[in-house]
Amino acid sequence: MAGSLNKVLLIGRLGADPEIKQMVNGKNVARLSLATSQSWKDKSTGEKKEKTEWHRIVVFNEGLVNVVQQYLKKGSQVYIEGQLSTRKWKDEKTGTDKYSTEILIQGYNSSLTMLGGPGQSGTSISQDNKKIDSNNDIAQNDLDDEIPF
């Protein structure tokens, strides 16, 4: 279908250390559990409320998997750009069909940015592995245009 878009943008914190597994083809894959939260004040009671959503993130790019394994841990704050994917699988115990919805980080339209705390710079790693910048370093490719905004 022309004109469609499957893009997910999230900022959240890891709820656990990344899980690194080896696939059948010998390549590694990283699985992340990402929490996003929103808070509000209940109008009737004045009580502060919070709702947390949990997201499954799957990183396929070998270079990104290595970065995830080396630098991310439980509590790390990250910005994710990926693609939503639902897969169907059969539960071996009950024989029933199950579904899992995940955000895939693969291909050229995906990225992972590690967001630092106070005094730390964030690092952006794009999926094509050609660009790894930090807030303090400007990649050579970014110097091509001199637009001030």
What domains, with CATH codes, occur in the chain?
8-40+48-135 (2.40.50.140)
pLDDT one digit per residue (tens) for the chain, 149 residues: 678 999 999 999 999 999 999 999 999 999 999 999 999 999 999 999 999 999 999 999 888 999 999 999 999 999 999 999 999 989 999 999 999 999 999 988 899 999 975 434 455 555 444 344 333 333 333 334 444 43
Instruction: Give the per-residue SS3 of 20-83.
Output: EEECCCCCEEEEEEEEEEEEEECCCCCCEEEEEEEEEEEECCHHHHHHHHHHCCCCCEEEEEEE
Q: Which residues contact 92 (CB under 8 A, 6 or more apart)?
A: none
For the entire predicted model, the pTM comes to 0.72
